[in-house]
Amino acid sequence: MKFLITGGTGLIGKSIVQLLIEKNHHINVLSRKRGEDTKQVRYYQWSPKNQTIDFTCIDDVDVIINLAGENIFGLWTKSKKKKILESRVKSLQLLKKLIKNRPNNVKQIISASAIGIFPNSQEIIFDENSTQKGNTFLANVVKEWEREIESLKAFKINVTTVRIGMVFCELGGIIKVLRLISKSRFLSFIGNGDQKISWIHLDDLSELFYKISQKNYNGLIHAVNNNPTTMLDLITNLTYKYKLKVKLFIPSLILKSFFRLLCLDDFYEDIANSNKNVVSKRINKVHPDLKYTSLKDL
């Protein structure tokens, strides 16, 4: 099979590309940068911002995987927030132009989305049938992102939306961020630390994307391992595993006021104090044998 993958140079993308190589597939990576071609991987350039693309990237492609988007970590300035939203919406708009204007054999498009669409809640368990949506910056970004994904159905191909939970892996993602924070001696939990974190390991996530393509799975699926942890358990586990010394407790009111002073209320709700108990009723049908189902497996 031939895959076209956007965001193939990022954390999740690199892992999926590696898995596809091992499974003997061919991959076209659509990137804003130049890359070095290999026997199985070819790089094509695009610019979602300027809406330019090398149209030949779709030739002979069976499945498109869309992962492109400005990284959400960093200081949420006005311009960063604009990039977070526009990079996702414009990437999909450019993919639509590509599918519309270049004859192709694409049968399926699998796009990343995020569980950030849900509101924070200590009580509610969200699954694929839940209709509640948050109203924070990130929730609104994901709503627009998913609207663009939905509009791909007009092409009469299978469209799969993968709402990804927090991705854990040894060397990247949130664990890398937490290890960096710990170096500045501020690794901490907020309030009583019982905020729910719904997560999936990078290896399981890559395998899930692969199985979705092989089973031609259609529709919405949550990429979480159905065993959410809490902020306290995660920090406790990391401090033990990586021998990190610092474990502070920050009263939530103090941190909330701090973020409010910096006009970063949304960042506090969406990232620092995120609290979402998200499960999947569908993952078992597609990928029943996840390798990482508890923090002990990390």
Ligand X SMILES: NC(=O)c1ccc[n+]([C@@H]2O[C@H](COP(=O)([O-])OP(=O)(O)OC[C@H]3O[C@@H](n4cnc5c(N)ncnc54)[C@H](OP(=O)(O)O)[C@@H]3O)[C@@H](O)[C@H]2O)c1
Q: How far is the CB of 132 from ligand X (least distance, A)?
A: 18
Tokens representing 9 are: 């140079």
The SS3 assignment for 169 reads coil
Of how many residues is the chain composed?
A: 298
Binding mask 86-105 for ligand X (x = CB under 6 A): -x---x--------------
220 near ligand X, judged by CB under 6 A = no
81 near ligand X, judged by CB under 6 A = no
6 by Cβ neighbours in 10 Å (0-12 / 13-18 / 19+) ranks as buried
Distance CA 214, CA 2 (A): 12
The residue (of 114 and 264) whose beta carbon lies closer to ligand X is 114
Of 230, 213, 88, nearest to 166 by C-alpha is: 230
Q: How far is the CB of 253 from ligand X (least distance, A)?
A: 27
| 48, 56, 93, 128 from 101: Cα distances, Å | 16, 11, 12, 33
Q: How far is the CB of 137 from ligand X (least distance, A)?
A: 13
The residue (of 68 and 256) whose beta carbon lies closer to ligand X is 68
Question: In the set 42, 80, 83, 247, which binds ligand X (CB under 6 A)?
Answer: 83
Distance CA 107, CA 127 (A): 27
Distance CA 92, CA 271 (A): 24
- Give residues with Cβ within 8 angstroms of 221, minimum separation 6: 128, 160, 161, 162, 163, 208, 212, 280, 282, 283, 286
48 near ligand X, judged by CB under 6 A = yes
Question: In the set 20, 27, 31, 189, which binds ligand X (CB under 6 A)?
Answer: 31
Question: In the set 2, 13, 134, 188, which binds ligand X (CB under 6 A)?
Answer: 13
Listed ranges 166-174, 229-237, 255-263, 275-283: which one lies at the site for ligand X (CB under 6 A): 166-174
Tokens representing 268 are: 């506090």
Q: How far is the CB of 250 from ligand X (least distance, A)?
A: 22
- Measured from each CB, the residue nearest to ligand X is 10
Question: In the set 167, 208, 212, 290, which binds ligand X (CB under 6 A)?
Answer: 167
- For binding to ligand X (CB under 6 A), which residues are involved? 7, 9-13, 31-33, 48, 67-71, 83, 87, 91, 112, 114, 164, 166-167, 173
